[in-house]
């Protein structure tokens, strides 16, 4: 037997051995983003799992529950969101353990969340976080380890031998009716069963970035020690005489503390606490708990969770040779974070009856559509199909696609109806599994055609003006639908791109009239471009660039917004959803000027003065910190040099941001992860294949690793990028030449078939910029025509093409129907 095994290893050879030992999970650090406002969920979860167990702290930045910023643990709870802004999400029904109540007096245990935090101090180095598990030791000696299944968290509390009073441990574990935001409403209730110690209950809470409310239920069981006694508490006092409690919010702007507790006769063995949640009922929560973790086997449950992650993470394999381990950690941790949110609440939606999947925590699609969902389309298309079906089913039952959704409620819309972009991206990349695309199409058309009465949280506002004028006016007159009347520029740009995305689906469904109609309105962005607009710094110095988007009134007259307002350097303006906000959302006209014409960069190039001026303006945007990589509108600007025939500069730029703005440390993220948006930016940038979502395009830069293998979960084929002359010091980041499946390849982009057909891209690198990918015919698809690339204004450097006013040939474009052409399915 043994001899045979040894022989097998020999036969399998070195490569298989390397393959066998390369474990992507070794490079995942869930604590990245646990401080400095990253707001990530650092705890235990399955991919897209509803149960998310972690220690919650009292940090003012505890949106994800746990933080590593010196804050104290206030409880251990099993529902969370990751990387979000807004108020802290979920964190409902936290548990809190005590080794003893001094002198055996339960009233000397500390019940209220605010005061028990004093018992929640911990040292950073006791925290262990890995995909599927999380652990921490409190300064009082209590160790807490946790893992999860779909709806159930399993906590293992290990107690010191003696309590703070020097007496043998007689642990008390409480569970209260709070959440991270203290949003509990009226009539929370809890019951403890004196025989078994089972605690069940429910309460109504508020979503963290939206309207409405939701009811959540729980069911908690214990194993490991005999129940000594049990009871309920209100505020700081408890009783073992009372087993049931219904409690109002009270009137002090703070929900009155209330919950139940169980005390155990011994703390000699670890106490296992199994707690499940359900949006349906406490009975359903108990059923989840009993079926998912019947055996309380911490080892089995955590192994299963780890294996689920390993399966997901093994889709992408990179070669670790020659690079620092911290880069691998950056990469795989970024990938990991793309599968924490959205969350799979299938079977847990009390709002409507349906056999369709239900996903929640799309938080928010404005953040997710740019790179997170596109990343998952490559690595987990089956999950994306379920998400898309859920979005369409949400439209069927609520009337609208969401732009943001959490905790069963509508979240706030930040700009356009960006679920349109998600649907288009999935559609053009061939995601089919069970999706009713006719309903999907009806949903996106409704966004374009019907204005909701309240467009705070779905659809678009100002549709009358949009249709009559071709832009959203500043100080619009809209008596049909109501929302925050700001962001006229960014809404115009986003609506235009939404329409482009609709046109792509229309094309695929053979609706040519619609396709042409929405392609036409997709150029509405041009209506806000003011060619003579200059941009001055606050001190009056001219930036030297001319031609910017500007707001316009209903009568067509230009209004004014400083193009630098809402940039990273603007400390004056209010730029979010406040009603005092500006005409651009969370970013400047400078940035929107580049990144939010994703479908017609060729026309933008002309408007900005040609390729050279486009390139130097893009440099200026980055070099002077006008842009901020911590917010999603910046993502495309890193790679937009591809459109001005300078793909080498995209590579340089991505190295300038990674790792300096994304380091694998708790404080290493430039702000909120936004679900896994930042994580997906890191992953796709390091893979060297950056999407322009809604289009069948990935912009090619050299991966940060010598090799990247991506197995298509659809076809099982392995797509591969290989760098020749790879150097881990990243001096050679300039592509000199390339082959695709062995043939010379000069285009600076590939399409989605690269992944599904398992193609091989070999990039030969050198230490100087070359002419690779710089010919006009090599540039990514764009609606308009690429002109001015040689001999015109702003001759493109390294442009081998001598053709001025180049038109992409008909034969290259399938389905060309409108002006510059159709961007969807260009042949490679």
Ligand X SMILES: *[C@@H]1O[C@H](CO)[C@@H](O)[C@H](O)[C@H]1NC(C)=O
Query: Residues interacting with ligand X, by CB under 6 A?
Result: 15, 35, 48, 58, 60, 68-72, 117-118, 124, 150, 186-187, 191, 243-244, 317-319, 344, 346-347, 357, 383, 386, 537-539, 541, 553, 555, 557, 562, 565, 570, 572-573, 609, 624-625, 666, 707, 709, 718, 720, 768-771, 793, 797-798
| Distance, CA of 664 to CA of 682 (rounded, Å) | 11
**Closest C-alpha among 148, 173, 179 to residue 158:** 173
Supply the DSSP symbol for 780: P
| Distance, CA of 81 to CA of 51 (rounded, Å) | 10
| Distance, CA of 50 to CA of 284 (rounded, Å) | 14
- Closest to ligand X by CB, 104 or 556: 556
In the block, tokens 């832009």 appear at: 471
CB 822 → ligand X: shortest distance, Å? 29
- Closest to ligand X by CB, 212 or 399: 212
- Closest to ligand X by CB, 566 or 823: 566
- Closest to ligand X by CB, 484 or 709: 709
CB 824 → ligand X: shortest distance, Å? 26
| Distance, CA of 224 to CA of 533 (rounded, Å) | 72
- Closest to ligand X by CB, 453 or 537: 537
β strands within 111-226, DSSP E: 128-130, 133-137, 143-148, 152-158, 172-176, 188-192, 199-205, 214-223
Strand pairing of 542-549 and 244-247? unpaired
C-alpha 736: how far from chain center: 34
Terminal Cα distance for the chain, rounded: 52
- Closest to ligand X by CB, 143 or 720: 720
Cα R_g (the chain), whole angstroms: 28
CB 553 → ligand X: shortest distance, Å? 4
- Closest to ligand X by CB, 275 or 774: 774
| Distance, CA of 371 to CA of 379 (rounded, Å) | 12
- Closest to ligand X by CB, 147 or 498: 147
- Closest to ligand X by CB, 517 or 529: 529
CB 753 → ligand X: shortest distance, Å? 18
CB 660 → ligand X: shortest distance, Å? 8
| Distance, CA of 581 to CA of 280 (rounded, Å) | 39
CB 115 → ligand X: shortest distance, Å? 7
| Distance, CA of 343 to CA of 357 (rounded, Å) | 11
CB 203 → ligand X: shortest distance, Å? 11
CB 588 → ligand X: shortest distance, Å? 10
By CB atoms closer than 10 A (0-12, 13-18, 19+), residue 57 is buried
Supply the DSSP symbol for 567: S
Tokens at residue 100, please?
């003893």
In the block, tokens 């084929």 appear at: 717
Strand pairing of 343-344 and 718-724? unpaired
Q: Note whether 696 and 429 are within 8 A (CB).
A: yes
- Closest to ligand X by CB, 70 or 322: 70
- The three-state secondary structure class of 190 is strand
CB 509 → ligand X: shortest distance, Å? 26
Instruction: For 540, list phi and psi in degrees, rounded to 5.
Output: 95, -15
- Closest to ligand X by CB, 107 or 707: 707
Helical pair 372-379 and 419-428, crossing angle rounded to 10 deg: 30
């Amino acid at each position: 037997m043994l001899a045979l095994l040894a022989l097998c290893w020999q036969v399998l050879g070195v490569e298989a051995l390397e393959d066998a030992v390369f474990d992507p999970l070794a490079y995942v650090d869930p604590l990245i983003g646990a401080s400095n406002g990253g707001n990530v969920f650092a705890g235990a979860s399955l991919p897209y799992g509803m149960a998310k167990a972690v220690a919650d702290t009292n940090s003012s930045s505890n949106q994800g529950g746990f933080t590593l910023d010196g804050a104290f643990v206030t409880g251990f709870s099993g529902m969370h969101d990751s990387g979000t802004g807004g108020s802290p999400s979920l964190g409902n029904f936290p548990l809190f353990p005590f080794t003893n109540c001094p002198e055996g007096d339960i009233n000397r245990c500390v019940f209220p969340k605010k005061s028990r935090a004093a018992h929640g101090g911990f040292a950073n180095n006791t925290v262990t976080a890995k995909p599927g598990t999380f652990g921490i030791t409190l300064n009082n000696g209590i160790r807490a380890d946790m893992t999860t299944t779909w709806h159930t968290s399993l906590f293992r509390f290990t107690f010191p031998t003696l309590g703070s009073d020097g007496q043998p441990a007689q642990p008390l574990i409480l569970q209260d009716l709070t959440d991270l935001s203290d949003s509990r409403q009226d009539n929370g209730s809890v019951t403890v069963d004196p025989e078994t110690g089972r605690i069940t209950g429910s309460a109504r809470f508020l979503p963290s970035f939206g309207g409405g409310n939701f009811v959540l239920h729980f069911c908690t069981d214990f194993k490991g020690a005999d129940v000594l006694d049990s009871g309920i508490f209100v505020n700081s006092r408890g009783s073992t005489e009372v087993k049931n409690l219904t409690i109002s919010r009270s009137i002090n702007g703070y929900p009155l503390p209330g919950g139940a507790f169980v005390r155990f006769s011994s703390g000699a063995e670890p106490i296992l606490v199994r707690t499940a949640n359900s949006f349906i009922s406490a009975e359903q929560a108990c059923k989840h708990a009993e079926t998912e973790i019947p055996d309380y086997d911490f080892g089995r449950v955590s192994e299963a969770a780890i294996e689920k992650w390993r399966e997901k993470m093994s889709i992408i394999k990179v070669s670790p040779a020659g690079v620092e381990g911290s880069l691998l950690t950056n990469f795989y941790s970024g990938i990991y974070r793309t599968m924490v949110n959205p969350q799979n609440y299938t079977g847990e939606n009390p709002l409507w009856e349906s056999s369709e999947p239900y996903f929640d925590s799309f938080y928010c699609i404005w953040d997710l559509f740019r790179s997170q969902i596109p990343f998952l389309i490559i690595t987990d298309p089956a999950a994306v199909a379920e998400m898309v079906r859920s979005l369409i089913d949400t439209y069927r039952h609520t009337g609208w696609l969401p732009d943001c959704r959490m905790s069963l409620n509508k979240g706030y819309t930040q700009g356009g109806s960006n679920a349109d972009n998600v649907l288009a991206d999935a559609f053009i990349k061939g995601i089919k599994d069970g999706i009713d695309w006719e309903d999907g199409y009806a949903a996106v058309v409704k966004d374009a055609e019907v204005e909701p009465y309240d467009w705070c949280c779905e659809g678009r506002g100002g549709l009358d003006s949009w249709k009559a004028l071709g832009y959203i006016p500043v100080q619009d007159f809209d008596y049909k639908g109501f929302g925050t009347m700001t962001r006229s520029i960014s809404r115009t740009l986003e609506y235009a791109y939404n329409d482009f995305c609709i046109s792509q689906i229309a094309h695929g469904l053979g609706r040519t009239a619609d396709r042409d109609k929405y392609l036409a309105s997709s150029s509405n962005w041009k209506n806000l471009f003011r060619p003579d607009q200059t941009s001055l710094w606050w001190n009056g110095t001219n930036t030297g660039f001319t031609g910017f988007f500007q707001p316009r009134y209903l009568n067509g007259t230009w209004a004014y917004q400083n193009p630098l307002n809402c940039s990273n350097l603007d400390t004056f303006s209010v730029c979010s959803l406040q009603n005092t906000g500006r005409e651009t959302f969370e970013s400047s006209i400078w940035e929107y000027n580049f990144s939010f014409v994703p479908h017609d960069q060729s026309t933008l190039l002309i408007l900005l003065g040609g390729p050279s001026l486009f390139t130097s303006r893009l440099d200026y945007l980055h070099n002077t910190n006008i842009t901020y990589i911590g917010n999603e509108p910046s993502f495309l600007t890193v790679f937009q040099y591809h459109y001005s025939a300078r793909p080498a500069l995209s590579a340089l730029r991505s190295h300038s941001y990674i790792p300096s703005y994304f380091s694998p440390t708790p404080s290493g993220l430039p702000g909120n992860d936004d679900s896994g948006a930042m994580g997906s930016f890191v992953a796709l940038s390091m893979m060297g294949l950056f999407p322009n979502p809604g289009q069948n395009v990935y912009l090619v830069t050299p991966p940060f690793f010598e090799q990247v293998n991506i197995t298509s979960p659809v076809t099982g084929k392995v797509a591969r990028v290989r760098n020749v002359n790879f150097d881990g010091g990243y001096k050679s980041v300039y592509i000199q030449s390339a082959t695709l499946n062995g043939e010379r390849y000069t285009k600076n982009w590939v399409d989605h078939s690269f992944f599904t057909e398992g193609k091989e891209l070999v990039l030969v690198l050198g230490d100087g910029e070359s002419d690779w990918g710089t010919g006009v015919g090599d540039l990514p698809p764009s609606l308009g025509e690429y002109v001015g690339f040689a001999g015109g204004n702003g001759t493109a450097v390294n442009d081998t093409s001598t053709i001025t006013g180049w038109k992409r040939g008909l034969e290259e474009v399938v389905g060309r129907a409108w002006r510059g052409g159709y961007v969807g399915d260009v042949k490679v």
